[in-house]
Amino acid sequence: MPRENSQASSSDHRVPNLAEKFKLYIQALLSVSLYRYGEIGNLIYTVGMNTMEGVVLYTMFSMAQNEMKVAAVLGVAVKYAYPGITVISSNFTSGFIDKLESAPSRRRQIAGLIRAQLGVGVGQALGGILLFCCFPPVFKYLFFASPWHNQILVALYLLHHIFDGSAQILEGRSWFKIIEISLRQGRLPELKEHFWVIYALSQNVQLILGQLFLWSSLTLTTFCHQQLTSPLVMGAAVVGLMMVVCAKFILPAAWFFNYRDLRNHPY
């Protein structure tokens, strides 16, 4: 009998439709402070980085190909750097998460994960600044007079990927652990039951939003490629940079400053 009841309850579980998935996603945002502030940071970062990439990458590679003849070097350097970034960052992050999981309380785990988010914020902010320095008007103003400007461009773009890529690996593991504790092990049964639905929908929202802003900024840059210092193009790059620099500090700031609902959350 218990086996039959277990099978019956398992078969009664229904996959929610799209409207219900959005309701669960909104409920998670409204009900769980950690998830809300972290997700706001994720969305702001997605919009900012994709806006900046749409403006910077097309113009940077055009400059690298037509004026500096190092476009191929940029591509090869990043391709061969990524395996090293992934191996080192993944090993460090896995050991860090294992150590945190041995902490005696969820509150201590969350506190450690919030500190990790500070590291993520620093890494992605530095990565954003380095990418912004590759934007042709900025790069030419800062570095074009140097006889080493070709090497500087390659170094800036490579360092952008090192800082941003490492931060993304740490952020992926630490953010997943945060939402696993706050949603999957939280107090609301409907969020526990549909944890993977909420997680997948969040990823899809970020992907769609990112593509929307990437193609919008790329279209803008394509039409204005002869006027990169125009207020519209420069404004898009600067706003994107500011969003990237600030985004991942939202959750740590909410944790450390005056949000008693976060600090007193019953983990």
The DSSP line for 195-211 is HHHHHHHHHHHHHHHHH
In this structure, of 38-52, 177-191, 218-232, the range with the lowest mean pLDDT score is 177-191
Structure tokens at 242: 């500011």
Tokens found for residue 43: 């969305």
User: How confident is the model over 12-29, as pLDDT tens digits?
Assistant: 566 788 888 899 999 999
Radius of gyration of the chain (CA): 22
**pLDDT tens digit sequence for 229-258:** 899 999 999 999 999 999 999 999 988 876
Rounded mean pLDDT of 148-154? 89
In order of their start, the domains of the chain are 20-263 (1.20.1250)
Whether the pLDDT of residue 91 is over 60: the answer is yes
pLDDT at 33 over 90: no
The pLDDT > 90 percentage for the chain reads: 43
Q: Say what angle helices 195-223 and 149-179 make with each other, to 10 degrees.
A: 160
C-alpha torsion angle, residues 164, 165, 166, 168 (rounded to 10): 80
Tokens linked to 237: 């790059």
- In this predicted structure, what is the pLDDT of residue 261? 55
The predicted structure's pLDDT at residue 11: 46
Mean local confidence (pLDDT), 111-137: 93
Mean pLDDT, the chain, as a whole number? Answer: 85
Among 5-9, 39-43, 59-63, which range has the highest average pLDDT? 39-43
Q: What share of the chain is helix, strand, coil (3-state, %, to 5)?
A: 85, 0, 15
Report the pLDDT value the prediction gives residue 50, as an integer from 0 to 100. Answer: 97
